[in-house]
Structure 1
């Protein structure tokens, strides 16, 4: 108990050194605040004023490490429109549901035990904004990027590109035109686009992808968006490279960091990720839904599908998910559903035992089992808890 008290008193002392109290009031009004503690920093979010549909907030950071930090940035959830920032710059796109505010170029260096503050005013009709539950602080202290970080960066940017392409499609601009007309000019260049909180881009696309990449990888990072063909369809892929180590993350198809830069690499070893039971159960559910959709679209019943000798998922060996596989029928539907996130997993589809039913009372005639061959773990749908009739 004395040790716990000592730790808490130390945290409190650090907080009070910059006025960073560790409590917060429940309602948003002038004087409300909340303090946060993270690796290498303490932070305080304080409401300075609430008036005429606008709120002004001050955020203070304290460097609790023994090294000077540079190029800091803060991320927090905020649904209001930010009208102005003092001693900082809004880094994230205006339409994001969370905000990233970075240093203003003159206050980016913070010495050990020193504090830095910025403030912003936001529109707040009805005084309905909340104090963020948590915040994330970035700096140049953490420049190490694991292969997992790089793959996650590629995945986040892939989803960002997907939204951008959909927005252009709604405006009548095709996938092909986006690449030919320079929407991805920097991202599709030979060396890719440099990312980080110290980079500034004019293009809305570049700004959005830069913000996404900066949240997941730090240091000397480049992001590349390329075109490829997957199963006869024209599509795209994203890579994130740590220029210091040469490691490359990729999506689709997470790799072990050795993917060839600028090429959708289907030969590099997969990222060494063992699937959890949650992943396996989720994949099984996705397969079950895909098979049902296939049966409805083709006007088939499950019995005729399971009796089809060409249906690999119903065989003793099952169907191994492979992004490079060339399949037909329901096997293709299943593989397409899982191939980007569950490569290497094995899928089995079989008749539901007559004396079992799902605890969720799902009415179904077939059963899906998934297996991670590396660990032997399995998942299934309907869910694993089956009850006798």
Structure 2
């Protein structure tokens, strides 16, 4: 099978893998029944919001293995990285089915699943980006969208298993299934040839605005001021989404007065718009540029957060408008940044470089839920957290203009040197 044909089968395999590992965003569906289970064991009074620390840890540790696994991926290829990561990810989920304390969940779901997620996700995204230099935005959006769509598919499945067999069985069954699917799919993925270009494709004709041809390793990337602008912009743009993803169900119940079933529907809606945002923004970024796309996403995020801020008991319409906007715009950042990182720093070292850039998501994954939970604990309301989210988004918007100025200056210097 030639590379031009093979790359599509690799893309399909990576999509199946991402469909599994994206289930980590469905934590809010597991948190409430798991809190009830622990309360029955110990006579405690935990809530789903109290278990947000598990989701925070899971989000925070991913970049560790994205970076270390990225080096292995760049050197030897993605198959081994994905296989080991699949064992860790599915194994962590399975071990949650044996948890009897919160700390067990932190170790199993937070650390083991989170570290496995970093290995797998970093390898699949980087591999697909390398095989599709002609469609970086679209493929980045598609692969991250499949990662996000898991949060639409898994909640009803997990809820059904939990209702009939309990949350412990749900973790074990889903974890075992993920081990089989991820590890099995790894055998269909191979390393992309160096400097691969599809037949008939010319880099200069690529429509992705601001594409670069210079490959930089992680040291050269860290020496570039552009890296710090991008990672802070990424963090600022992702905070709002992480706030809502981690506590979507509790928000719907406490703010609007929704039932458990209705709150589960909110989680699925948020995930659905998260998915759509990745594909649409990825496709759009190939046409109007990565930075322009993200600037629009930041603007709409602020509108979404304000809509959530003005929502109260029974305000379903404004609440859903806010959730949809925040979810879609968070998806835009997830979908656009893999291609954005490659445009800026090249493909050769992309696995490690994107792993380092992904620290921005990890910081947002810790910061967003922590801010929201702290404000809820101190004020008894989520409202102030939405204003904080607007402030973060505004910082990201300002940085998009800083990026534009730096990029224009770099282009002028490049043109001057070539004259």
Which range, TM-score by smaller chain? under 0.3
Structure 1 or 2: larger helix share? 2
TM-score, normalization by structure 2: 0.25
TM-score, normalization by structure 1: 0.26
Structure 1 or 2: larger strand share? 1
